[in-house]
Amino acid sequence: MNESFSDLRNEISKLVGEWEMKLLELPEKTLTDNRNKQNRTIKQILGHLVDSAVNNHHRIVRLQYNNDLEFPDYRQDNDTWVRIQDYQNEDWKDLVTLWKYYNIHLIHVIEKVNPDCLKNTWKDFEGTVETLESVITGYLSHLNLHINEMKELIY
C-alpha cells in the first residue's frame, strides 16, 4: 500500500461521502435550471466530474507502465463530452452512484500507485509536461473546484 497519498485519498472519500446524500436530495429544478459560468447545470457538472475521474484513472494507470506519454487529453473537448453523453437527461440517482463508485475505485487505484513511477510524465494538449504525481495531486483540486461550483448553484 502506498501511504504517500493517504491524506488525499481520505479527502476524496470525505467529499464523496458528504456530497452523495446532498446531491440525491436536490430537487429536479435545482439540478437542471441553475447554470454556472460555463453554462453547465449541476447534472452537467457532476457528469463532467465523472469524465474527470475516468480520464484521470486512465492517466494514473498508464503512467505506471509507460513514461513520457502523449495520449488524448480531453480538457479541450470537455464540453463536447458533456453534450454527447447528455448528462442533462441522465437518471440522477444513476449519475450520482456512478460518480461515487468511480471515485471509490480511483481512491483504490491511487492507494496502489507504484512510488517509483511518480516522476513518469505525459504531455497535455498544450504541450505542458505533467508527472504522475501532479496528476494525482491535481485531481482533488479539480474535484473541489467543481464541488464549489455546485455549492454556488445550490445556495
DSSP output for 45-98: HHHHHHHHHHHHHHHHHHTTT-SSB----GGGGHHHHHHHHTGGGS-HHHHHHH
Task: Please state the rounded mean pLDDT for residues 39-67.
Answer: 95
Taking 80 as the threshold, does the pLDDT of residue 75 lie above it? no
In the chain, domain spans: 3-154
pLDDT digits (tens, 9 = 90+) for 116-136: 999 999 888 788 889 999 999
Task: Please state the rounded mean pLDDT for residues 94-98.
Answer: 98
Q: What is the largest CA-CA distance in the chain?
A: 48
At residue 64 the predicted structure's pLDDT band, cuts being 50, 70 and 90, is very high
Give 130's strand partners. 122
**3-154 carries CATH number 1.20.120.450:** yes
d(CA 38, CA 117): 35
